[in-house]
Every structure is written in C-alpha cells, then in structure tokens.
Structure 1
Amino acid sequence: MQSQNVPNYLPQAILSTIFCCLPFGIVAIVYAAQVNSKLAAGDYEGALSSSKSAKLWTWVSFGSGLAFIILYVILIIIGVSTNQ
C-alpha cells in the first residue's frame, strides 16, 4: 500500500499568491486544493500529480515575483543614476 501522506502545499500556494505573483499563485492554489479530495477518493496517483503541480506552480509564482522585484530595483537604480 502506498503512503497516504501527500503534501498539498496549500499554505505555500496561498502565501506565494499574496506576496509574489497572483496569476501563477492561483494555479498553485487550484492544484493544492485537489490533493486532499483525490486522496479521499482513493486516487493516490492523481493526488501525487496534483501535489507535484502545486509545488511547481508555487515555485513559479515565487520566482516570477522575485524576478519582478529584482527588475524593479534595477530600473530604479538606473533611473536614479541617470538623473544625476
């Protein structure tokens, strides 16, 4: 029997939605919400797939939010240095 302990990454998905990138975070939340219902239905492979997708989209949301912040800071630095 396979282990029924499949992480759903819902807290991470919610935090990445709030603080990083809304569109990708919503995708992560949708996949994270599917994990427990698939486990309850006995679909272990489906739950595992949704868990992996939730983790992927959480990281995509975090990475895109981080890239946006870095780009924003670089553009501010360039703007300040050209005005001097």
Structure 2
Amino acid sequence: MTQPYPQYPPYGWPNYGPPPDNNMVWAILSTVLCCMPLGIVSIVKASQVNTLWFQGYHAEAHRAADEARKWAMWSAISCGILIALYVVFVVVMFLAVGASFWGLAR
C-alpha cells in the first residue's frame, strides 16, 4: 500500500536559516550618492536575494547578495575616483591661473 503523502524528515522541513543580507541599503545609498548606473545594477541584484532564497535556490541567493555588494562597492569606488580626478583638475587649473595672474607663466 502506498502512502498518500510524501514522508518528510522527522523534524519537519529542513531549516536553512534566515536569508543572507541582501545589501539593499548599500545599493540604494550607492545609487543616490554615487554612480547611478552601477547602483541600479546593485539594487536589481539585491532585490533578487529573498526571492531566490525562498524558492530554494540558496547558492544563487548568496551569489546575488555578493554581487549586490560588489556593484555597490564599485559604484562608491568610481565616485571616489571621479571626485579625486576633479580635485586634481581644480588644483591644476588654480595653479595655472595663479601663475598667469602673477606673471610667472610665459
């Protein structure tokens, strides 16, 4: 005689714990304060984490969380590089204008 219902483990469903941190806060902050295109990619990856986790794709959920963190980090790094380049540009222009104003440039 066959069982009408599948047999589950004696303690119920397996417990995989809570889903990984989706890094949504960092994704939103990097979108608003830093580089928008990279931040949007980070938001998309962060929004996939809980969906994948509750569908049972645990490795993919961890991978999406890692990618969301990676894209948010690259957004912040690119913003820092652009600010540093802007500061260098302003300093060089200030020195060039100052040198021509004081008659040091020929």
Shorter-chain TM-score tier: over 0.9
The answer to whether the aligner puts 1:45 opposite 2:59 as a matched pair is yes
Report the TM-score, using the length of structure 2 for normalisation.
0.75
> What SS is found at the alignment partner of 1:83?
helix
Out of 51, 75, 91, the residue aligned to residue 61 of structure 1 is 75
Superposed counterparts of 1:1-84, under 5 Å: 2-84=16-98
Identity of aligned residues (%): 33
Q: Which has the higher contact order (CA 8 A, sep 6+)?
A: 1
Aligned length, in residue pairs: 84
Q: Which amino acid aligns with 1:48?
A: H
Over the aligned positions, Cα root-mean-square deviation in angstroms equals 1.1
One-letter amino acid matched to 2:22: N
Name the TM-score, length of structure 1 as normaliser: 0.94
Q: Which sections of structure 1, spanning at least 5 residues, go unmatched?
A: none
Larger Cα Rg: Structure 1 or Structure 2?
2
Per residue, is there more helix in 1 or in 2?
Answer: 1
Residues 4-44 of structure 1, C-alpha deviations (whole Å, 9 max, x = no match):
34010001000001111011111111100000111111111
